[in-house]
Amino acid sequence: MSDGEKNAQGRIIGFDPRILFTKGLQLDTADLVVGAATDETVGRLSAMSFLALNDRNGAQIFLNVTIVAPPFSAWPLSDDDILELVRKGFLALNGQSLGERELESVRRRLVIRRCPDLDTKGLLAQISSLTRTLVIVPMAHVYRDAAVTDVENPSRAASRLVEHLWVPHLATWSDKCVKSLADSGNYLVLSTPEDPPTDERLKEQLNSVENLYPVYLLNDAVDLINRLISENAPRWIGLAVCGRVDEALSEIWALDVEEPVKRQLEIQALNRSSFRERTLSALEAYVEKGFDLTPDLAVRFGRIAYRSDAPHLAARLIGDGVDSTLDIGLLEKTLVTCDSMGDGALALRVSQRLKSLFPESPFLDRYREGWLIMLSGATDLSSFHEALPTLELLGFESEIAKTLLSPSDAGIDALIVAAGNETTHDKDLASLCGATYALARLDAKYAINRALSISPAGLFKRRAAWLLISAMRRLFLRSAPGDDVVGIIQPPLAYLRHYLSENPDDVEAREAFTALFAVESSASLGTPILIAQTLNLAHESRACLVQDNPKVLMATAVQVDRFLGDAEAWLGKVGVYDVSHTEIPAELIQGEPLALLNALESLVREISIDPEGNLEYAEHLSFLACGVARHVSDTTADINALRFVACCYAGSGQTQRARDRAEQILELTGDSVARQRAAWVAFADIYHRTRGPLPALLGLAFALELKHPVSADELWWEGYTLIRIVRDLGLTEYAQTSLDHLRQVTALLDEPADTEKRIRTLELSLRLIGAQHLDAAMQLALVDDAAQHCSEVLQGRDEILPATVILAQSIGLLEHSGNAEASIDHARETLEKALARIEASQANYVRAMTASDPTIEDILHLTRRVDPTRNSGDAPGDLRVAEISARRFLKAGKGARSPDAVATTLELIADRALDPLQNARELETQWPLKYAHTLCPEDGAVMMLGTDSEGALVTLTVEQGETVVSTQDASETDFATAVEDWTKVYPHRYGYINREEGNNEFFLSMADLHVPIPKAKRLIVVAEPGVQQVPINLALINDNFAGYQRAIGYVPSLTWLEAKSRQPRILEPRRVAWISEATGGHENDVLIRVLERNEYTLREHGFEVETQGKIPSTLKAAQIAVVAAHGDVGAGGRFFHRVSDEGSLVVSPAALANALEGSDLAILFVCSGGRTDKHPHGNTAVGLPKHLLSRGCRTVIASPWPLFASIAGPWLESFLRSWDEGVSALDATFLANQAVEMHFGNVPQYSLAMTVYGDVLMTKV
């Protein structure tokens, strides 16, 4: 064609080739047919050439028709299949089918050529060799041109449609192709079944190719949907990234499109929002409903499944689609995903697909290296021997493979020596393989030494970081008493600190590194290690070169107003503004960019501290500041602006939004060390305010790791942040002494007045921490000082809220201690003045949080002001203020507390970290008590337990329609203190009491832990995490243990149980047991005896019995899963730490929980497997029961102390018999414990060990 694009309307059904020739045929040009079915384009165009494309003399214009086809793997049609398409084309155009002679003539003049791959070099070579031919290129969208750089947009808010992938490539190579047609006598038709692009810029790219004439065949309905998605997808993705995904989902579900389209958009939006659990739920729903999955969509969804912690679903989806995927970018990214999954077989399939289509992809080099690394960590080498011939290893790679396929310690050492003569890249690869080999064979120390030799600037630095994280995790997991773990990890700790400080965008590695120091991984070691490293770095940083405070250029108000007006107009045009990566156009910035940026930062700060300020507008201004900052090198003003806003969000209860801004700040840093350091300080500051002590400590450590000169202002803020963090971790003495250094830095500031007031606020906060132990006179002095300080702050321009909170807390403490006097009226007046100056909702918050005698409405207000969290583990920190107020409520006005209010308060301080992130019932005053009554079993009771602000035990008991509230007698040792003392020895010690010693130690140890047990035969306990540590089975009733007289089970919270009761049960009757028969070389391996004693019972009750020396995948989603293994607690006798067998297996509690994910009932014969400890940094539990419940198990039965192996036999026989008769988990556990007593006698360490957690009333389906 020669007159531009046309929206074609055919006269025959489907593609009508005549539309290409309405104005004749011009040789040496090309048409592009977009939107037509490939089969019709090929068949009908070929047929038309034979039928009608003749010159004026009637002779056919072309000698033949040449189909230049993609490789068979991309377009699986044989030559006979293509000939059949032409035959159908004749029928469609002529209404008659070809006879055998005619068909043979067509066969002779139809030339079919195959491209070797999808690189355009082969395609162009094929076309350029032709003359006087009608050339048809089907599936033109699948080819990729090396001249086009597919830059992976780093923005989480970026939205790319399929058209953005193929159009730039096709426009590039078609231009070369058309130019090669000159004087050839050829006519070229490119065809793609892809929908016409909706982006006009892409159409312009195609239209700009000289002598290429696009034809777009539109399906109006499809085009409408595509345009709807194209126009709105950036907005939906932008909302999702900004933490407003529900707004996006509301718009998506309101669309008038088919349900599968809505669900696909929902999955994409949730994936960008980082809501992993919600993303996985949406993805599973899509798959379960059986909606169509194209190969590309299956692979994309597989990658999303992996990011959502569902590797099995990921492998299934990727496996379903990879053999038909044609997108090079998708294949390359999927290869990386499979490598991360450790799925060698799937990675091999992806690499073979990639190699067949795009043999020059650099990712094939990465795959070969990844394959060698996987080989180095493998124990079964058979699949690697099979794959070796397909790899075509290069250079030193062959030597590495040769060594690894016949591995030995000596061979690895020799390989490392030989690598010394190779390139740095090959040396690093050999070191990484050696480190991986050592780690797979449990030599973490050697692995660390080898990994540390890898160049920190090389291509393997991220792999080295991950290997060091794995090695440290292994060290923590396998450490034994006397091991110098702290000393061993110092070098890798320094390496990882350096790597992460310079790579703030590596979120996955940072999260994995942070998890190393959680109590679940490192028991009691983690936090002290983090504190020590941060304080050491802080000490070193005090010698850091301090830059002069830069001169502050400031734009005028007129300049700022003009910029804001222009910026709003620009935003209206672009629609979505990606804060992390978009640059404000230079023409919008009139004058010096730094002056404008400083003015925006100042404006954000003013709005943030103004009680009448609009925080949403301040955030908007901070986003604009980020775009302006891209015109200024090494500035930190935009980071500070975002930090101001995030800190205000944290203070107003929008903690998730604050955390989102902290993560966004890290995305802004680029390669600037100055910006990286400032970003890490801001990250630490924000996470401290949202009660995330580990991320806060690490953020500050990463900042201090970056040795870069800072200004006095920045150095002051670093010190200020550190003092607040260590203060709240209990290091008040260090915090107090650090104030002197902060004062020294203050002297270097240009305007020290406000910072001196902040130091005074810190001093008062440190005094307040210990004030509850002071006499009335000293508490009164604190109130006076806090009032004076608050008055001074009110006269300045600094943030008022911190000083106001200190004053309110000081007054509240005095009142709560019963020492309030009329002489503090002046302080109350100052407080009211301060509250009047802050925003109304914050004033209500301060009143509620500091009230000495809070109401239930105060507590619910504090609860509801907190934003929903994206991570359930953040919930206890977010609810910390409400928890403190709730404990005050439990202490104050004991006679006036209604049972409804007490039940609500006890539910609030239960373990809320297990509450579902979606569809959890909102806490309200009437519901907990009503639900407890409905939950109460026949001849049973529900007992809710918690401690008040002074540690006294408060109990609410629901029994036979009655509700009783009781509080521990003030004359007794408070329950919280008694529990703290008890946990120093118990429950771990119970497992080591010899039965010949009698039960005296049990009685003595429980003497101070009096719990008022009701007379009911069944007892459901909802206890806060601190109280949940105490085994109620051992509570004393009439000189005997409660567990001998009552069936007792634990529920983490009523909210969790109510949500769980709405979830469907597993209907597939699958029962699995795992008892490893791996031997440690002992004559009397315990697990072997457990297997021998119980295998018959298990098989008799329908169990598959797994005995391999690794956790089997079949445990997942079983109706009943039974596990027998060794269990250990961490250093200091606290926190369940690891699971092992008699052989070499040692895994974390999380690994076992992941294996048991989704099981209805998990029974664990694992020492201390039922132990729960209170988390040191939050009101939540730590232990295997919590791990399992959080991974979707309904009910868990295990022992809180080391277990005597022989009890498994009688216990299991009794339990399974009762369970199969329809008895609940609660009663079946009680009966099974009685069976153990019948067998062994009154030995509580045997007969009261097994304890039920979760949905305790669950019965067999």
Q: Number of folded domains in the chain?
A: 5
Contact 609, 800 (CB under 8 A): yes
Distance CA 900, CA 902 (A): 6
Identify the band that residue 695 occupies on the pLDDT scale cut at 50, 70 and 90: very high
Task: Pick the more confident residue, 312 or 155.
Answer: 312
* Phi, psi dihedrals of residue 556, rounded to the nearest 5°: -75, 165
How high is the pLDDT of residue 117? 94
How high is the pLDDT of residue 1080? 63
Distance CA 346, CA 674 (A): 42
Distance CA 1147, CA 1140 (A): 6
Contact 1123, 1073 (CB under 8 A): yes
Decide if 239 is inside a domain. no
Structure tokens at 126: 């094929």
Looking at 1058, 1078, 1107, the residue that finishes a domain is: 1058
Question: In angstroms, what CA-CA distances link 1054 with 887, 942, 1023, 1058?
Answer: 18, 10, 10, 6
Q: Indicate which CATH number applies to the domain containing 1151.
A: 3.40.50.1460
> Closest Cα partner for 805 from 790, 821, 819?
790
* Residue 449 burial (CB count, 10 A): 17
Give me the DSSP letters along 234-266: HHHHHHHHTT-HHHHHHHHHTSSS-HHHHHHHH
Q: Model confidence over 728-764: pLDDT tens digits?
A: 998 989 999 989 888 988 888 877 877 888 899 999 9
Decide if 1030 is inside a domain. yes
How high is the pLDDT of residue 2? 36
Structure tokens at 1220: 């199969």
pLDDT at 58 over 70: no
* Phi, psi dihedrals of residue 1073, rounded to the nearest 5°: -125, 145
Q: Model confidence over 204-240: pLDDT tens digits?
A: 999 999 999 999 998 877 888 888 888 888 888 878 8
Helix-helix angle 825-837:801-816, to 10 degrees: 140
Assess whether 704 and 557 both reside in one domain: yes
Assess whether 117 and 176 both reside in one domain: yes
- What's the gap between Cα 685 and its chain centre? 21
Question: In angstroms, what CA-CA distances link 301 with 177, 271, 298, 314, 906?
Answer: 35, 10, 5, 7, 42
Contact 941, 1045 (CB under 8 A): no
Distance CA 1142, CA 1138 (A): 13
- Which residues is 69 bridged to in the sheet? 114
Which range, 378-382, 433-437, 834-838, is most confident?
Answer: 433-437
Q: Strands 133-137 and 187-192, how do they pair?
A: parallel
Distance CA 639, CA 714 (A): 12
What rounded mean pLDDT belongs to the chain? 89
Structure tokens at 998: 């009698």
Question: Is residue 135 within a helix (H) or strand (E), and if so which, with residue range?
Answer: strand 133-137
How high is the pLDDT of residue 847? 86
Assess whether 1098 and 1033 both reside in one domain: no
Question: In angstroms, what CA-CA distances link 803 with 187, 344, 838, 967?
Answer: 80, 58, 11, 35
Q: Model confidence over 393-405: pLDDT tens digits?
A: 888 999 999 999 9
Decide if 575 is inside a domain. yes
Assess whether 1092 and 983 both reside in one domain: no
> Model pTM?
0.86
Decide if 198 is inside a domain. yes
* Residue 751 burial (CB count, 10 A): 8
Contact 274, 308 (CB under 8 A): no
Contacts of 578 (CB under 8 A, 6+ apart): 155, 157, 158, 238
The C-alpha angle with vertex 764 and arms to 760 and 770, in degrees rounded to 5, equals 155
Distance CA 853, CA 1002 (A): 38
Assess whether 1145 and 1213 both reside in one domain: yes
Structure tokens at 76: 């699986």
> Closest Cα partner for 1024 from 912, 1189, 888, 1148?
912
Q: Indicate which CATH number applies to the domain containing 631.
A: 1.25.40
Decide if 1004 is inside a domain. yes
Assess whether 21 and 88 both reside in one domain: yes
Identify the band that residue 326 occupies on the pLDDT scale cut at 50, 70 and 90: very high
Assess whether 1077 and 1169 both reside in one domain: yes
* Phi, psi dihedrals of residue 137, rounded to the nearest 5°: -115, 95
Burial class of residue 390 (count of CB atoms within 10 Å of its CB; 0-12, 13-18, 19+): exposed
How high is the pLDDT of residue 154? 46
Decide if 304 is inside a domain. no
Distance CA 244, CA 241 (A): 7
Distance CA 347, CA 707 (A): 40
Assess whether 446 and 507 both reside in one domain: yes
Q: Model confidence over 618-660: pLDDT tens digits?
A: 999 999 999 999 999 999 999 999 999 999 999 888 999 999 9
Contacts of 706 (CB under 8 A, 6+ apart): 501, 502, 673, 676, 677, 680
pLDDT mean over 47-70? 81
- What's the gap between Cα 146 and its chain centre? 35
At 1045 the three-state DSSP class reads coil
Distance CA 383, CA 388 (A): 9
How high is the pLDDT of residue 9? 38
Assess whether 1239 and 1126 both reside in one domain: yes
* Residue 193 burial (CB count, 10 A): 18
The C-alpha angle with vertex 626 and arms to 620 and 630, in degrees rounded to 5, equals 150
Distance CA 1201, CA 1043 (A): 15
Task: Pick the more confident residue, 140 or 847.
Answer: 140
* Phi, psi dihedrals of residue 648, rounded to the nearest 5°: -65, -40
Q: Strands 133-137 and 64-69, how do they pair?
A: parallel
Per-residue H/E/C for 452-516: HCCCCCCCCHHHHHHHHHHHHHHHHHHCCCCCCHHHHHHHHHHHHHHHHHHCCCCHHHHHHHHHH
Amino acid at site 1013:
I
Contact 1021, 1252 (CB under 8 A): no
How high is the pLDDT of residue 1197? 98
Q: Model confidence over 1040-1062: pLDDT tens digits?
A: 999 999 999 999 999 999 999 99
pLDDT at 945 over 70: yes
pLDDT at 4 over 50: no
Q: Strands 64-69 and 212-216, how do they pair?
A: unpaired
Q: Specify the DSSP class assigned to residue 391.
A: T
Domain that holds residue 899: 893-1058
Distance CA 654, CA 863 (A): 12
How high is the pLDDT of residue 910? 95
Strands, E, within 1117-1231: which ranges? 1120-1129, 1136-1140, 1146-1147, 1161-1166, 1173-1174, 1181-1182, 1195-1198
How high is the pLDDT of residue 429? 94
Contact 783, 810 (CB under 8 A): yes
Per-residue H/E/C for 544-579: CCEECCCCCCCCCHHHHHHHHHHHHHHHHHHCCCCC
Looking at 455, 490, 524, the residue that finishes a domain is: 524
- Convert 604-619 to b/e letters by CB count within 10 Å (16 or more is b): bbebbbbeebebeebb
Contact 417, 426 (CB under 8 A): no
Looking at 668, 692, 708, the residue that finishes a domain is: 708
Contact 1179, 909 (CB under 8 A): yes
Assess whether 1077 and 1053 both reside in one domain: no
Assess whether 1024 and 1088 both reside in one domain: no
Q: Indicate which CATH number applies to the domain containing 33.
A: 3.40.50
Decide if 1118 is inside a domain. yes
Distance CA 192, CA 547 (A): 60
Contact 1034, 1248 (CB under 8 A): yes
Helix-helix angle 163-179:120-128, to 10 degrees: 30
Identify the band that residue 156 occupies on the pLDDT scale cut at 50, 70 and 90: low
Q: Where are the alpha helices (DSSP H) in 1122-1174?
A: 1149-1155
Assess whether 1054 and 1074 both reside in one domain: no
Contact 231, 245 (CB under 8 A): no
pLDDT mean over 486-508? 94
Identify the band that residue 1079 occupies on the pLDDT scale cut at 50, 70 and 90: confident
Q: Model confidence over 374-394: pLDDT tens digits?
A: 999 988 888 888 888 888 888
At 71 the three-state DSSP class reads coil
Identify the band that residue 843 occupies on the pLDDT scale cut at 50, 70 and 90: confident
Decide if 1074 is inside a domain. yes
* Phi, psi dihedrals of residue 657, rounded to the nearest 5°: -65, -40
